[in-house]
Amino acid sequence: LLGWTAAAAHHGLHAFLYRGDPDRNRLLFKAVCDEWKKVFEKTANNSSDTGVSEELRKFAIYMCESFNLLLKQAKKEYGEYAKYTFNFIKKPRLQKGPSVAVAKSTLLTAAASASTNEGGSIRQTVTVVVVKPSKDVKLGLGIAQEKGATTIKITSIPLGSLFTGTDLKIGMTLNTINGLKYVSFAEGFAMLKAAEGRVTIVASAPATAAPAAASSTATANGGSSQKENSVPDKNAGSESD
């Protein structure tokens, strides 16, 4: 089961997805998923009792995620008929309650965002996680060095990118790559290219002016009028490819 999944994830299923019958394909993928669910359910608490090491279990999950990603990209490459799912593991049900904070995530991608107030301007920061099956697979990001800085700015997210549909947007600046800061554009570029497996990107959007506070000013007739305090836009310029 692991050998089939790993081979399919690494070598692809071009002929199978291009010429195969979609309904039969779905039956096959569902059968594989059902078997994986049994495996992961048995090894969920103590994999050593089943003769499966934790390292092997993690590797199996990684290969299933890689194959899931391949199937998700099939729709873009082969058309609407090649729309497949690969739900290979049961997700634990999230507890509901006012005191429980739940992060939105999936097995393939996870996203989180936060906003900070910096001297009258607001900057949004997002964390996005994707799976890059191998070093040879492209992340699908157009990047450029910000003018007068060493930081990396996102200039494009083409169709088919691993980041398509995530919170990562054009114009954002990369802060860290897999939890590490880069000291130059070249180093950051090399880190992105060499990344493999789970890739975690933390990026920030350009700072925007915070909502202006209204102030009351006395008028000659004893009434009052309101005016807004504005903060000039301080977005940094960028360098094109």
Q: What is the pLDDT of residues 140-162, one digit of tens each?
A: 889 998 888 889 999 998 888 88
Q: What is the pLDDT of residues 88-134, one digit of tens each?
A: 887 655 444 443 333 333 334 444 555 555 556 677 899 998 888 88
Q: What is the pLDDT of residues 56-79, one digit of tens each?
A: 888 888 888 888 888 888 877 777
Secondary structure E strands in 10-162? 110-118, 121-132, 142-145, 152-156
3 state SS of 55: helix
Average pLDDT, the chain: 75
Cβ neighbors of 179 (< 8 A, separation 6 or more) are 200
Identify the sign of the CA torsion 134, 37, 15, 74.
Answer: negative
Q: What is the pLDDT of residues 198-226, one digit of tens each?
A: 899 999 998 777 665 544 443 444 444 44
* pLDDT more than 70, % of the chain: 72
- Residue 107: the pLDDT is 36
